[in-house]
Structure 1
Amino acid sequence: MASNTLSTHIAGDIGGTNARFARITLDGKLDQIQILRCADYAGPAEALAAYLAASAGPAPTAAAIGIANPINGDQVQMTNHSWHFSIEAMRQQIGLQSLDFLNDFTALALSLSQLQDSDRLAIGGGVAQAKAAIGVIGPGTGLGVSGLIPCKGGYAPIEGEGGHASIAGQTPEELAVIAALYRKFPHVSSERAVSGTGLPSLHQALAEVRGQHAAVLTPPEIAERALDGSDPLCVACMQMFCCLLGTAAANLALTLGARGGIYIGGGIVPRLAAHGTQFFQNSGFRQRFENKGRFSDYLAAIPTWIITADTPALLGAAAFLQQR
């Protein structure tokens, strides 16, 4: 793209595994999107510098970066990666006038207004109510949680860490699995099971409860064996994963009063849904989402969607810069 159509703004999205960057056009679109492996760089400043060196455009003046981590002051220690850095030192190193970090799921929430109908896939029924709260949840390396709360003139995003709230089981086997996880961890959050990092622990705990021996598998191996149906334990593990996500999503909907709908992001669920077996669509997610006793009808009226856009958090970071 010609440099005279590019702004001096940069959008970023940093997870536990990959960092994504893009230049922003004058009309707010994304350009020259690149994905970098976090493990290849000493920190986010080095990753961003590598991106700028490889991309074409004017010298940047401002950047907004979503990151899979809470932001509380200048110092950032990532939960699911080894990076520890100062935001101000990074701003000076890159030579930016302004540098903002926001929780990656806050950025994802900000992207919702930018999504087209083709960027989401409905799971179950329900109709979104206008001017109602909206929830966002999704398993990637960790489990992100956010939302949008209606306020005067629009919506305000939530910057929280709901993925670290205590996990809730709904069946005897789930409760037994959670008990097994408590023997391993002092606190069992939803992220301990419903995430990429948590999936191997969920797999091992389910094997323990069922009295089975299970090989130590990586998250992609567990998912692959579940999707092709070659390993019954992996199938059961991924089914439990989807059900536990349904419980967490329903709890978020009730907490926020999210009658505007629940959006599911992250890297795992879209892949499950896109598989030829439609694994996620045929899982117990939606049934579990609606299974809330006296409030089942309330939840049945709330739509749930999978975000299928390729880089929605980058859209959210760009939207943040536009709002500023």
Structure 2
Amino acid sequence: MTLLVGDIGGTNSRFGLVARGELRPYGVQTLRNDDHSSFEEAVVAYLDAAAERPARAAFALAGPVVGRVSKLTNRDWPIDADALETRLGLDHVALLNDFVAQASALPHFRVGETTPIGAAPPSDAASKAALGPGTGLGVAGLLRAGGAWLPVPSEGGHIELAAVDAREFAIFERIRQGFGRISAEHVLSGPGFRRLHEALAAVEGAPAPGLEPAEIVAQAEAGDAHAAEAVALFLRLLARFAGDVALTFGAQGGVYLCGGVAPKLLGLLDVAAFRAAFEAKRPHDALMRKTATVVVTSEIAGLIGCAAAATSDLAA
């Protein structure tokens, strides 16, 4: 029996097919959400071009799942599992939060699908955590319980993010003007990266650059000091937040950075600075030094996690 799996973000939707007993998808295709009027239309577009018709489906969604329905946090797409079953003629449609899928994938990566940050090794004998900046900021835990893995959803990307020095306070004050508060997602996301870059310019009295994240990274790689500071600050804040997530979930098995943003910053990553920010969690700094930080570079992590969750009957 073939399973349709999908990793549905605010910008793109990635689909694939999984054979019975397997976790790794084939026939993978990425669709731009802007090209489709609804989630159902995107699924139909993929299935119309697929080599075979699946009997079941499991979709990882960038938003909270309540029972059998969901709505993407950063796109006005209501998603109803029962309606999808009827429209698509499927035996069963399961919905799960996208970072539940990312967390579910963590024990199943192959060599070359992750890149360590620092020397601390990950462990499959302890709980893990997944987080990742993208269109938003996803967070989930993967608890080790009785020899089994239990993914735990969260909306941790919306917790408060704090500044710790005068420069950060000045930058955060600029960002706060648009929101009234600063959540982690307001800064640690693709749009947040742009806000951070523009706030830095404002603090310096320079015009707002209005650059996209890829352009900021390109300028940093070319030696632009302002862009390089924005990248360094983004990574330092991401490391601090990752440390908080590790403490929250007791993730001594490792914290994994997922999604499309983190891999693009690897070339600019100062490993020592990242680990220093991650580990600075007194009185638990010794514990943090033993906790791995890992970048997930696999482009199919969400699909693997979808299949793992569906196989374990963890999806709704």
Q: Judge same fold: TM > 0.5, yes or no.
A: yes
Is the 8 Å Cα contact of residues 243 and 283 (structure 1) preserved in structure 2? no
2:2 aligned with 1:13:
no
| Residue equivalent to 1:237 | 230
Which residues in structure 2 correspond to 1:18-33 (within 5 Å)?
A: 18-28=12-22, 29-33=24-28
Distance apart, 1:200 and its partner CA: 1.6
Instruction: Output one character per residue of 1:75-131: Cα deviation in whole Å (capped at 9) or x when no partner.
Output: 433221222233322221111121111111110111112112321111012234553
Instruction: Output one character per residue of 1:151-199: Cα deviation in whole Å (capped at 9) or x when no partner.
Output: 1231100111111111122332112222221111123111111111212
Which residues in structure 2 correspond to 1:97-116 (within 5 Å)?
A: 97-116=91-110
| Residue equivalent to 2:213 | 219
Is the 8 Å Cα contact of residues 125 and 302 (structure 1) preserved in structure 2? no
2:288 aligned with 1:299:
yes
Q: Which structure 2 residue ranges, 5 or more long, are not aligned?
A: none
Which residues in structure 2 correspond to 1:234-273 (within 5 Å)?
A: 234-273=227-266
SS in 1 for 2:284: helix
**Distance 1:156-1:211 versus aligned 2 partners, 3 A rule:** same
Which residues in structure 2 correspond to 1:120-159 (within 5 Å)?
A: 120-159=114-153
> Partners of 1:38 and 1:268 in 2: how far apart?
18
2:262 aligned with 1:286:
no
> Partners of 1:188 and 1:72 in 2: how far apart?
26
Instruction: Output one character per residue of 1:40-87: Cα deviation in whole Å (capped at 9) or x when no partner.
Output: 111111111110110101x32211111111112344332212222333
Is the 8 Å Cα contact of residues 168 and 247 (structure 1) preserved in structure 2? no
Bigger mean CA offset, 311-320 vs 115-124: 115-124
**Distance 1:214-1:270 versus aligned 2 partners, 3 A rule:** same
| Residue equivalent to 1:56 | 51
| Residue equivalent to 1:70 | 64
Please report the RMSD computed on the Cα atoms of aligned residues, expressed in angstroms: 1.6
> Partners of 2:282 and 2:215 in 1: how far apart?
36
SS in 2 for 1:157: strand
Is the 8 Å Cα contact of residues 201 and 209 (structure 2) preserved in structure 1? no
Opposite residue 308 of structure 1, the aligned amino acid is T
Is the 8 Å Cα contact of residues 168 and 248 (structure 1) preserved in structure 2? no
Give the % identical residues: 35
| Residue equivalent to 1:3 | none
Is the 8 Å Cα contact of residues 187 and 196 (structure 2) preserved in structure 1? yes
Is the 8 Å Cα contact of residues 168 and 244 (structure 1) preserved in structure 2? no
Is the 8 Å Cα contact of residues 77 and 83 (structure 1) preserved in structure 2? yes
SS in 2 for 1:118: coil
Distance apart, 1:221 and its partner CA: 1.6
Return the match for 1:117 from 97, 111, 114.
Answer: 111
SS in 1 for 2:6: strand
Aligned length: 312
**Distance 1:123-1:177 versus aligned 2 partners, 3 A rule:** same
> Partners of 2:260 and 2:301 in 1: how far apart?
11
Instruction: Output one character per residue of 1:251-307: Cα deviation in whole Å (capped at 9) or x when no partner.
Output: 01111111111111110111221xxxx212457322210122332222111111111
**Distance 1:76-1:322 versus aligned 2 partners, 3 A rule:** closer
Opposite residue 172 of structure 1, the aligned amino acid is A
> Partners of 2:119 and 2:206 in 1: how far apart?
37
**Distance 1:69-1:36 versus aligned 2 partners, 3 A rule:** same
Distance apart, 1:209 and its partner CA: 2.0
SS in 1 for 2:230: helix
Q: Which structure 1 residue ranges, 5 or more long, are not aligned?
A: 1-6
2:85 aligned with 1:91:
yes
Is the 8 Å Cα contact of residues 61 and 98 (structure 2) preserved in structure 1? yes
